[in-house]
Amino acid sequence: MLGSLLLAGSRSPLARRAVSGFPLTRKVVDRFVAGESAADAVETARRLTGSGLSVTIDHLGEEVRDSGAAVAAAKAYVSLLEALRPLGLGDRAEASVKLSAVGQALDPGLALENARQICAAARECGSTVTLDMEDHATVDATLGALRALREDFPETGVAIQAYLFRSEADCRDLAGSRVRLVKGAYAEPASVAHQRRADVDRAYVRCLRVLMAGSGYPMVATHDDRLMAIAESLAVSAGRGPGDYEFQMLYGIRADRQAALAAAGSRVRVYVPYGDDWYGYFMRRLAERPANVAFFLRALRGG
């Protein structure tokens, strides 16, 4: 129930004003968001990669309905990738892109062109792009854009949300692709998505089986130790070594676990968001784990 309320709040202008205006909110946001500028994101990437981790960087923003804002978002990604190039990190520092941030809801053609520019900038620094997945109504459009981008940039990846009923089939269709498997972080109706945590977990494992048995590159995005162990077991059964898949975790959540996995030889990529449009992302992080809400409340009390 709490998660559903928080997800609803993530799209409420009234809730946005209330939370954004609260003086202590920034203290908590700083745990989950690397900063507001590209320089903040680059410094965070430098620090994390220096400790043996990889990163995927998200310039925060979504549901853009102004062509100028969509072009500005694409330029922000290009500038970020240009700033990363001198570090020589290659695919240890990639970009995560929401198509709605670069104009998908306004003009799919504009969004595709903006995404192409970002992919080209990523290739220039030896990196790549993963398309974030948004709510269920955008899945077909996102996968269509992925197919178009992969004609010139076959290294482009995509996120698939296990809680959607369609996702196991989508994983089969994405044979040979880089796929980030997530549980899902949007409030979806029971007609299209599993609602119970146990059902979501089972769906996640079914998708994992498909990805590990395929010829692509699975990116296992979870903080659940049990699912991580299942992923490792499936990888061994499929003959995959540590470099044939990776774990992904969010910036600010279970940093000790990230370090332990990397120290044990696993490839671990941290999802690093930055920018001033942090509200929707922040609310979804609170909705995902009760521990995040407890952290928020302790910070508001000054603890």
pLDDT tens column, 208-264: 999 999 999 999 999 999 999 999 999 999 999 999 999 999 998 899 999 999 999
Residue 44, pLDDT above cutoff 90: yes
Angle formed by the axes of helices 2-9 and 290-300, nearest 10°: 70
Q: Binding site for FAD: what residues are annotated?
A: 133, 161, 183-185, 222-223
272 or 287: which carries more pLDDT confidence?
272
CATH code that applies to domain 37-274: 3.20.20.220
Task: Give the residue among 9, 7, 13 at the shortest CA–CA distance from 187.
Answer: 7
Question: What is the model's pLDDT at position 141?
Answer: 97
**Strands 157-161 and 268-274, bridge-based pairing:** unpaired
With cut-offs at 50, 70 and 90, classify the pLDDT of residue 65: confident
Question: What is the model's pLDDT at position 286?
Answer: 65
Q: Binding site for substrate: what residues are annotated?
A: 98, 284-285
186 or 52: which carries more pLDDT confidence?
52
3-class SS at 271?
strand
Residue 180, pLDDT above cutoff 50: yes
How far out from the chain centre does Cα 191 lie?
24
Sign for the CA dihedral angle at 162, 240, 222, 186 comes to negative
Kindly report whether the global pTM for this prediction surpasses the value 0.95: no
Q: Which of 43-47, 63-67, 119-123, 125-129 has the lowest mean pLDDT?
A: 63-67
With cut-offs at 50, 70 and 90, classify the pLDDT of residue 9: very low
Question: What is the model's pLDDT at position 26?
Answer: 58
Instruction: Check if 132 is active-site.
Output: yes
Question: What is the model's pLDDT at position 61?
Answer: 80
Encoded amino acid at 26, one letter:
R
| Angstrom distance (rounded) from CA 40 to CA 37 | 5
Locate CATH 3.20.20.220 in the chain: 37-274
Q: Binding site: what residues are annotated?
A: 98, 133, 161, 183-185, 222-223, 284-285
**Span between the terminal Cα atoms of the chain, in Å:** 26
Active-site residue (options: 132, 135, 170, 201): 132
Active-site residue (options: 116, 180, 267, 269): 180
**Strands 268-274 and 246-250, bridge-based pairing:** parallel
3-class SS at 181?
strand
pLDDT tens, residue by residue, 92-148 = 999 999 999 999 999 999 999 999 999 999 999 999 999 999 999 999 999 999 999
Task: Give the residue among 98, 87, 13 at the shortest CA–CA distance from 50.
Answer: 87
Per the prediction, the chain carries an average pLDDT of 87
Listed in sequence order, the DSSP H helices in 151-288 are 167-173, 197-213, 225-237, 255-263, 279-288
Percent of the chain with pLDDT over 70: 82
**106 φ/ψ angles, rounded to the nearest 5 degrees:** -85, -50
- The mean pLDDT value for 61-72 works out to 87
